[in-house]
């Protein structure tokens, strides 16, 4: 029911009296002030008229039949809109009992009979104005309360002199206090503040009073059920002219939802979804903090960088979800044992051991040890982790065995900042892998040196091709039957501007790792063929050109097409080219390999198995593939004259070659004895320092001209 009438709408006064003459007089008096007047003859009628017209003011006689004015007033107050109406009771003069009763039943004011008519109208106008002001106040209080409800905001005022505290309804709700409880005090509210923060709040208020400065703070409220609520409070102090604090005013906002949302975001942003461990982001922060603390207090920190060995294999064979389960199991198992481990407890200085397990991603974990007592303890913790990992883990009904490699860096010593310590731990971890996995390695400066060299070779190698720093050496091969030059093997060299001549053993593995070998190999093939044709055109006897093909190159689609194209371009006869493939390359993906070999064979090129004898013991593939030559590995040739076993192997290989119709070439022949032995066994061709070192192009050319007949 609207009590605030729209502008232009008339103010309504309800006149209630059983005496019609009185009603008439009242109506006349009030009409002059352009008030609309409604009438009722008794209490019951008055209630009905009130409900119907919702008057702004009721002027009601107390003595009436059916229902008297007191009862009607009390009932009106309970009607909708009755709270706000101005109700004036008309009592007998000096009838103090009636006046008191009028007050008790909620009358706004009273007038006595006989009524002073000229005054009445003014009185009514005053009361109407007061009523309007009162209603406006109520309205704005209501609005404020709605706004506070929406904003989860409460406010309070504290009169310091009177030590009285006013708190809005929202304040009570936020603090979990009942609004009915009479006048909650500062202390009551303080008891609801979380015990951990109570003292801080008390101090803050004291300081504010002393300094007369505003404050704002976030704290927690402990609710009776034990749950917590987060609030943000802002307050200011009002002081008098002398600067004495008079009152304080503040707002308290319930920010629990925001804090919860922030917490959720934090969880998503800083924890790994799979294992629930801190993720890389959080780990970096924690590491940074640990280093800052160590720097301040002169402490030690160890970083253990763990990478699971051959985790990819599990993913590939058992599926990704099994891989995920395994990572979860490992995270649980490591997390628990690390926390409860004696070794970890001993590794760190007294109090709680500073250990954090994080997952950096994939199968990489870090264990951060802060307040480390002795550096070697880090090694013990690493060993403990490896021991834990060595236990079988059941995944999808299967026992899975896994191991890990750990690299360790220490602060101070192995790096100044997070980046460097992490990088060096990575280097140490790779070293642990290189020396056979399932082990840990402390970082050392030499390791770094090697890693740096490797890295610089990697970046330089990319440029080497453009800068034409690669070149070929040629190592002659001699036919043992005729004693004539049978061919040459092209061996790549890298003339590095700073490092000088870099042997292939240093950069070929890196080129293979990075995939650059494909490009390098293509260049070698091109260059070797071009050179062979140049020599032939210069009138030299045509010799076979051996070119090494890396397994990665071999796996690429279209190797045969490339070889065909190079032969066409250079004009070299296919029969003059011999591609050297390693055993392991041939054994990968047998069906596809056979197809490639057939294509190559169809071009007419020769195919040889390089480093024969070092790879697969199964020789059955030799029969299946269209091969021409076996290159017996240098390792067997080396000891043929001293090691009976090696001699036996060589004999067997040569015999095998003969039975399969394959030519045999012995590599790494360094002595006359070796040559004699090989010749006796019927080896076809030899290559090695005894004949010649690999030669740069001009010397190789000279060799081709002069040293045609060797034996
Ligand atoms: P490989 O194919 O087995 O090449 C023979 C290696 O043995 C050459 O080393 C050669 O210099 C060395 N050698 C020859 N005779 C003797 C000897 O009597 N005694 C000793 N101790 N060594 C001898 P190099 O040139 O350092 O090449 C090493 C390896 O690098 C090669 O082994 C080959 O696997 C790879 N490689 C070289 N050039 C290329 C290339 O162009 N492409 C690819 N993919 N690999 C290449
Ligand atoms: Ca070779
Ligand atoms: Ca070889």
Q: Which residues pair with 442 in a beta bridge?
A: 408
Distance CA 448, CA 243 (A): 68
| Distance of alpha carbon 32 from the chain centroid | 80
Number of H helices, E strands in the chain: 27, 27
Closest ligand relative to 487 C-alpha? 2
* Under 8 Å between Cβ of 365 and 357: yes
Ligand 1 centre distance from Cα of residue 468 (Å): 21
Query: To 5 degrees, how large is the angle CA 25–CA 30–CA 32?
Result: 110
**Computed from CA positions of residues 28, 34, 40, 44, in that sequence, does the dihedral angle turn out positive or negative?**
negative
* 310 Ramachandran zone, left/alpha/beta (phi>0; psi -120 to 50): left
21-42 confidence digits (pLDDT tens): 888 888 888 877 778 889 999 9
Q: Are 372 and 397 in contact (CB under 8 A)?
A: no
**Residue 4 in tokens:** 């605030």
Q: What CATH homologous superfamily does 151-259 map to?
A: PAS domain (3.30.450.20)
Topology of domain 481-706, CATH: TIM Barrel (3.20.20)
CB of 604 closer than 6 A to ligand 1? no
- Answer yes or no: is the C-beta of 665 below 6 A from any ligand 1 atom: no
Q: How many CB atoms lie within 10 A of CB 446?
A: 9
Q: Is 613 in the pocket of ligand 1 (CB under 6 A)?
A: no
Contact yes or no for 554/544 (Cβ under 8 A) = no
Q: Calculate mean pLDDT across residues 382-386.
A: 90
Assigned token pair, 495 = 């003339």
Quote the CA–CA distance of 182 and 172 in Å, as a whole number: 11
Pocket test for ligand 1, best of 471, 472, 473, 491 (most atoms within 8 A of CB): 491
The atom number, within ligand 1, closest to the CA of 517 reads 44
Tell me what pLDDT residue 711 has.
45
Bridge partners (DSSP) of residue 357 are 367
For residues 469 and 56, what is the distance between their CA atoms, to the nearest angstrom? 103
**What is the residue-averaged pLDDT of the chain?**
87
How close is the Cα of 697 to the center of ligand 1, in Å? 16
DSSP labels, 489-502: EEEEEEEETTTEEE
Which atom in ligand 1 lies closest to the alpha carbon of residue 511?
Answer: 44
Biggest alpha carbon distance in the chain?
Answer: 156
Bridge partner residues of 15 (DSSP): 39, 59
Asked whether 611 lines ligand 1 (CB < 6 A), one says yes
Ligand 1 in reach of 688 Cβ (< 6 A) = yes
**Residue 423: CA count within 13 A, CB half-sphere:** 12
Distance 695 CA to ligand 3 centre (A): 17
Residue 518 Cα to ligand 2 middle (Å): 16
Q: With a 6 A CB cut-off, is 635 part of the ligand 1 pocket?
A: no
The 3-state DSSP class for residue 240 equals: coil
Does ligand 1 have an atom closer than 6 angstroms to the CB of 524? yes
Reduced to 3 states (helix: H, G, I; strand: E, B; else coil), residue 43 is helix
For 12, residues 6+ apart whose C-beta sits below 8 A from its C-beta are: 35, 36, 37, 38, 53, 54, 55, 56, 57
**327 has pLDDT over 90:** yes
Q: Are 148 and 168 in contact (CB under 8 A)?
A: yes
Partners of residue 303 on adjacent β-strands: 368, 409
pLDDT at 282 over 80: yes
Give the pLDDT of residue 38.
92
| pLDDT tens track for 121-179 | 888 888 888 888 888 888 888 888 888 888 788 899 999 888 888 888 888 889 888 87
Q: Which of 47-61, 210-224, 341-355, 365-379 has the lowest mean pLDDT?
A: 341-355
pLDDT at 120: 83
- The finding on whether 319 has its CB within 6 A of some atom of ligand 1 is no
Residue 592, pLDDT score: 80
Rounded to the nearest whole angstrom, what is the distance from the C-alpha of residue 634 to the centroid of ligand 3? 7
Q: Is the domain defined by 12-147 classed in CATH 3.40.50.2300?
A: yes
pLDDT digits (tens, 9 = 90+) for 451-489: 667 767 888 888 898 899 999 999 999 999 999 999 999
Q: How far apart are CA 52 and CA 47, in angstroms?
A: 9
Tokens 């050319």 — which residue? Answer: 701
**Residue 645 alpha carbon to ligand 1 centre in Å:** 24
Distance 505 CA to ligand 3 centre (A): 12
> Does residue 598 sit in helix, strand or coil?
helix
Nearest CA to ligand 1 atom 22: 668
DSSP letter (8 states) at residue 363: T
Decide whether any atom of ligand 1 lies within 6 Å of the 528 Cβ: no
Ligand 1, atom 42: closest residue by C-alpha: 548
Q: Which atom of ligand 1 is nearest to the CA of 582?
A: 34
**CATH fold for domain 275-443:** Alpha-Beta Plaits (3.30.70)
pLDDT confidence bin for 4, thresholds 50/70/90: low
pLDDT score at 579: 97
* Per-residue pLDDT, 550: 94
DSSP 8-state secondary structure symbol assigned to residue 29: H
φ, ψ for residue 218, nearest 5 deg: -105, 135
How far from the centroid of its chain's Cα atoms is residue 282's Cα? 8
Segments making up each domain of the chain, as ranges: 12-147, 151-259, 275-443, 481-706
When pLDDT is averaged across residues 209-238 and rounded to a whole number, the result is 91
- At residue 380, the pLDDT reads 85
pLDDT > 70 in the chain, percent: 94
Residue 571's pLDDT band (boundaries 50, 70, 90)?
Answer: very high
Query: Using a 6 Å cutoff on CB, does residue 610 contact ligand 1?
Result: yes
- From the alpha carbon of 547, which atom of ligand 1 is closest? 41
Cβ of residue 508 lying under 6 Å from some atom of ligand 1: yes
Question: Which contacts of 648-656 are long-range, i.e. CB under 8 A and separated by 24 or more positions?
Answer: 649/613, 650/677, 650/678, 650/681, 650/683, 651/681, 653/612, 653/613, 654/678, 654/681, 654/682, 654/683, 656/619, 656/622, 656/630
User: Whole-prediction pTM value?
Assistant: 0.50
Residue 707: the pLDDT is 62
CA angle 489, 490, 492 (to 5 degrees): 140
Q: What is the pLDDT of residue 2?
A: 40
Tokens of 573: 């006869």
Residue 350 confidence (pLDDT) above 70: no
For residue 176, the SS3 value is coil
pLDDT band at 99 (very low <50, low <70, confident <90, very high): confident
Pairing of strands 663-666, 629-632: parallel
Cα angle 538, 544, 547 (rounded to 5 degrees) comes to: 110
Q: Could you tell me which residues come within 8 angstroms of residue 556 by beta carbon, excluding any fewer than 6 positions away?
A: 518
**Euclidean distance between CA atoms 694 and 682, whole angstroms:** 24
- Is residue 51 predicted with pLDDT exceeding 50? yes
């Amino acid at each position: 029911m609207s009590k605030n009438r729209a502008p232009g709408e008339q103010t309504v006064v309800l006149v209630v009296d059983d005496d019609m003459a009185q009603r008439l007089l009242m109506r006349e008096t009030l009409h002059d002030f352009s008030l609309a007047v409604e009438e009722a003859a008794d209490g019951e009628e008055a209630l009905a008229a009130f409900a119907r017209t919702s008057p702004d003011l009721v002027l009601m006689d107390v003595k009436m039949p059916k229902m008297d004015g007191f009862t009607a007033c009390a009932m009106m107050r309970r009607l909708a809109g009755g709270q706000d109406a101005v109700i004036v009771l008309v009592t007998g003069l000096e009838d103090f009992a009636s006046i008191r009763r009028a007050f008790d039943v909620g009358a706004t004011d009273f007038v006595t009979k006989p009524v002073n008519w000229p005054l009445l109208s003014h009185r009514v106008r005053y009361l109407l104005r007061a009523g309007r002001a009162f209603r406006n106040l109520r309205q704005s209080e209501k609005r404020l309360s709605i706004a506070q409800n929406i904003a989860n905001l409460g406010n309070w005022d504290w009169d310091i002199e009177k030590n009285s505290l006013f708190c809005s309804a929202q304040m009570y709700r936020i603090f979990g206090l009942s609004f009915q409880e009479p006048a909650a005090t500062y202390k009551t509210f303080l008891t609801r503040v979380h015990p951990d923060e109570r003292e801080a709040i008390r101090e803050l208020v004291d300081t504010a009073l002393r300094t007369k400065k505003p404050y704002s703070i976030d704290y927690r409220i402990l609710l009776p059920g034990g749950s917590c609520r987060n609030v943000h409070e802002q307050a200011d102090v009002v002081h008098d002219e002398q600067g004495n604090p008079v009152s304080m005013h503040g707002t308290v906002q319930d920010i629990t939802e925001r804090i919860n949302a922030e917490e959720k975001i934090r969880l998503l942003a800083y924890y790994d979804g799979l294992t629930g461990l801190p993720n890389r982001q959080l780990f970096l922060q924690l590491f940074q903090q640990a280093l800052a603390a160590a720097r301040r207090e002169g402490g030690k920190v160890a970083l253990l960088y763990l990478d699971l060995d051959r985790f990819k294999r599990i993913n590939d064979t058992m599926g990704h979800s099994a891989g995920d389960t395994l990572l979860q199991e490992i995270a649980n198992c490591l997390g628990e044992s690390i926390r409860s481990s004696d070794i970890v407890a001993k590794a760190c200085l007294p109090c709680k051991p500073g250990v954090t397990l994080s997952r950096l991603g994939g199968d990489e974990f870090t264990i951060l040890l802060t307040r480390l007592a002795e550096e070697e303890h880090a090694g013990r913790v690493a060993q403990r982790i490896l021991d834990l990992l060595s236990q079988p883990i059941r995944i999808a009904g299967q026992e899975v065995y896994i191991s890990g490699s750990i690299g360790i860096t220490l602060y101070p010593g192995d790096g100044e900042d997070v980046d460097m310590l992490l990088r060096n731990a990575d280097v140490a971890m790779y070293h642990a892998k290189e020396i056979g996995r399932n082990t840990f390695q402390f970082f050392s400066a030499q390791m770094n040196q090697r890693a740096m060299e490797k890295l610089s070779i990697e970046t330089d190698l990319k440029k080497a091709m453009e800068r034409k720093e690669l070149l070929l050496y040629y190592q002659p091969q001699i036919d043992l039957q005729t004693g004539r030059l049978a061919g040459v093997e092209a061996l790549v060299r890298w003339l590095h501007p700073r490092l000088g001549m870099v042997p292939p053993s240093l950069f070929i593995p890196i080129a293979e790792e990075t995939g650059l070998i494909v490009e390098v190999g293509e260049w070698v093939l091109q260059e070797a063929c071009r050179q062979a044709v140049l020599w032939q055109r210069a009138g030299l006897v045509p010799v076979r050109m051996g070119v090494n093909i890396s397994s990665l190159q071999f796996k690429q689609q279209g190797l045969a097409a490339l070889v065909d194209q190079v032969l066409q371009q250079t004009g070299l006869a296919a029969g003059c080219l011999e591609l050297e493939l390693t055993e392991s390359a041939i054994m990968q993906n047998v069906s596809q390999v056979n197809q490639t070999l057939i294509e190559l064979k169809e071009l007419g090129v020769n195919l040889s198995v390089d480093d024969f004898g070092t790879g697969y013991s199964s020789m059955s593939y030799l029969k299946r593939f269209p091969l021409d030559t076996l290159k017996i590995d240098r390792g067997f040739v080396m000891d043929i004259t001293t090691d009976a076993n090696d001699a036996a192997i060589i004999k067997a290989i040569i015999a095998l070659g003969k039975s399969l119709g394959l030519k045999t070439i012995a590599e790494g022949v360094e002595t006359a004895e070796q040559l004699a032995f090989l010749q006796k066994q019927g080896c076809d061709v030899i290559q090695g320092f005894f004949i010649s070192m690999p030669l740069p192009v001009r010397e190789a050319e000279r060799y081709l001209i002069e040293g045609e007949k060797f034996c």
